[in-house]
A and B are shown apart, each in its own frame.
Chain A
């Protein structure tokens, strides 16, 4: 073989080895994966959604302390769809413990009395049975956290949420009087203490600030039973509709956008999504989202 041939062939072989790599680079970069799973059992669809995202092991390292933050805001029953479905919480706690988490804590700062909301929502029982520690909010544990936002800069936050290794945000999708809709970013109001009512002014900005300034490692939106009117507290069964869906993603805003789609509304109509979009937290257009829909 001549020297020239040798160089030619080597170049061709080595470049052909690079080819697949080059091809993928040529494709547009895809955003975070959002998984939407529909099915009859809230427990099964949650498990499936986590599996499709790559399994809980992808998010949780061995010996991690994990905080699961459902919406336990109101003294209402499961059928009234004001709090996260306990089966969804149970599935997440189980998965986290199976993935090797040292401890899983379930906590929220509710609007009603914590003792009541925790037990009436069914979350206390479900979480404890799955092996989680159910913790009540304690005002002595408030510390100031800087969200570096526009509306919310410094605000008291329960230390419990900052001291853990991973946070899994588990909101319920429902109608909300002043914000229009409440999903993942709004759910983070539950880590706050202080006079939270004050934050209802320019609420859209405030919600985006929370999603921006507080890192939740995984977001799993419960849209199994949703309140379509008179949220966030509801109470009437006629205001509740079945969607039998769970949405999971690491991107809090895109999970919210997909949830808005499940709710049957346009993302642009909500202040908080517009504010989050401006902050480049994710895509507003659902067709641009890396979405994987599954039915079981």
Chain B
């Protein structure tokens, strides 16, 4: 194939990557900006349906296949024809990694040649993820590229961009002067299209962000590090690509110059160490060939003519990974929080019972991104070792908006089951409990009732009664004391969110009478 054609295909590939990445970010960010209304719909979850790894993991967890996940068979089947085109052309996290690899190219002192040992790592990851899922623990979401990217963008990239834009543009746009006149249109544009009115903040920003940037900086060490050496989805596609029809082979024009190895995504080349399972169909090699010697075809050569090298984990590594995966799968099940009788966390409305939830949730943070009030936060260990980055509710940062059901509609794996707005308004996430030692109306003996005022239930789940009591001065007074009607309370958390106490709220959310657990017991 002519190098010129290769260059054209290369360009097409970059355009495709840009388009898909843009689409991904657009869907994700627009979802976070949309209002709380049930009216606005978003397709931000659709990227996940093209992820066969999630199809597999979800099937293991529930023994059912969500119909939309059948879409993921499209890229998987195409992989048998085109090779790992998904990684090279479509995957937004792949594109991000590729961009950073390109950025770091000049400063890189990368070793030449394929690192066959390191390439095995992602297959081990795939085994670990699948085996531990079989035992009932879900680790897939930690490494799945869509989950990882969504989670990182949600908790670190988006809030920090928002902050920086707001701080820099706003300050500039408010002064009177030439700079301000220049900045004003930018500010108005970003206000209209990018910024959220209230700055978001997330609990695990440092950890999730740290991991994200670490993964990006690994591209300094080897290009597209995550894709080549860690991604379990890449490994799955690799297994399929091994049998693909797509084939690269240098023909008789080859002058053994190894130019094709210069920009190969996995540091191989069609000339030496050609690996079908690793090739992401980027066409860099074809474009780089000075003699137009590399032949790309959709015809797999006969067995005896094959040049592709397979990655062979070896029986020992496979067995070892399986055993390790079993241990990893069992580990969270014997860690204490799961065995505790009490649980002190709440899940978003529509969340399925806890055991099922942990299996289904892929920790993508889609619900956190879409939550208009910043109510949904990534957990660390409060829900157990398994529950790292699963969504929990934090009434200190937000509350569940009565007129919103968006988190129930974006969950790709239906760990948060879809609810109609009317159902959601009745869905019991938990119950508010008055802390009489802290509530002003009890402890200090004066009127407050901010929680009563904010309670969105039309019949009022929080009410007050006028009771003679002693106030903080020791005088007898009539005070409107707060009480909760548990049957009406849905646990939306706005009462805790608005409680004016500055240290710890006088009314708190609790998992008491949580609706989702009722279903199982």
Contacts and interface: CB of A to CB of B under 8 A. Distances in A.
Interface of A: 75, 111-116, 119-120, 136, 138, 140, 176-178, 195-198, 200-203, 230, 232-236, 239
The 5 A-B residue pairs with the shortest CB-CB distance, nearest first, are A197-B500, A235-B458, A178-B449, A236-B458, A197-B450
B502 A195 contact: yes
Given A75-B402, A75-B403, A233 B453 contact: yes
Interface string B435-452: 000001000001111101
Contacts of A177: 449, 452-453, 464
B460 interface: yes
A235 B490 CA distance: 15
Contacts of A140: 170
Interface in B24-41: 35-37
Given A203-B447, A232-B453, A136 B401 contact: no
A229 to B, nearest CB: 9
Given A113-B198, A113-B373, A115-B35, A201 B401 contact: no
A140 B199 CA distance: 12
A116 B498 contact: no
B480 interface: yes
A202 B446 contact: yes
Interface string B9-37: 00000000000000000000000000111
Contact of B449 (A138, A200, A202): A200
25 contacts: A75-B403, A111-B453, A111-B498, A112-B401, A113-B36, A113-B197, A114-B198, A115-B196, A116-B35, A116-B403, A119-B37, A178-B447, A195-B500, A196-B500, A197-B450, A200-B448, A200-B449, A201-B448, A203-B447, A233-B455, A233-B456, A234-B458, A235-B457, A236-B458, A239-B458
Max chain B CB contacts within 10 Å: which of A195, A197, A201? A197
B197 A115 contact: yes
Given A113-B197, A197-B499, A201-B448, 20 more contacts: A75-B403, A113-B401, A115-B372, A116-B36, A119-B37, A140-B170, A176-B453, A177-B453, A177-B464, A178-B452, A178-B464, A197-B498, A197-B500, A200-B449, A200-B450, A200-B500, A202-B446, A203-B447, A230-B458, A235-B457
Contacts of A232: 453
A201 B446 contact: yes
Give chain B's interface secondary structure class.
loop
Nearest to B170: A140
B37 A120 contact: yes
B459 A236 contact: yes
Contacts of A113: 36, 197-198, 372-373, 401
Contacts of B196: 115
B29 to A, nearest CB: 15
Interface string B451-472: 0111111111000100000000
User: Chain B: interface residue count, which band?
Assistant: 20 to 34
Nearest to B452: A177
A114 B480 CA distance: 29
Given A112-B401, A178-B449, A197-B448, A235 B170 contact: no
Interface string B499-511: 1101000000000
Contacts of B440: 201
A203 B440 CA distance: 14
Nearest to A178: B449
Max chain B CB contacts within 10 Å: which of A113, A115, A136, A201? A113
A116 B459 contact: no
B40 to A, nearest CB: 10
Given A120-B37, A136-B197, A178-B480, A230 B460 contact: yes
Contacts of B464: 177-178
Contacts of A235: 402, 456-458
A232 B498 CA distance: 15
Contacts of A120: 35, 37, 403
Nearest to B399: A112
A114 B199 CA distance: 13
Contacts of A111: 453-454, 498
A176 B460 CA distance: 13
A119 to B, nearest CB: 6
Max chain A CB contacts within 10 Å: which of B403, B453, B464, B480? B453
Nearest to B374: A113
Nearest to B167: A140
Contacts of A203: 447
Contacts of A178: 447-450, 452-453, 464, 480
Nearest to B196: A115
A75 B454 contact: no
Contacts of B458: 230, 234-236, 239
Nearest to B446: A201
A234 B459 CA distance: 8
Contacts of A136: 197
Interface string B213-254: 000000000000000000000000000000000000000000
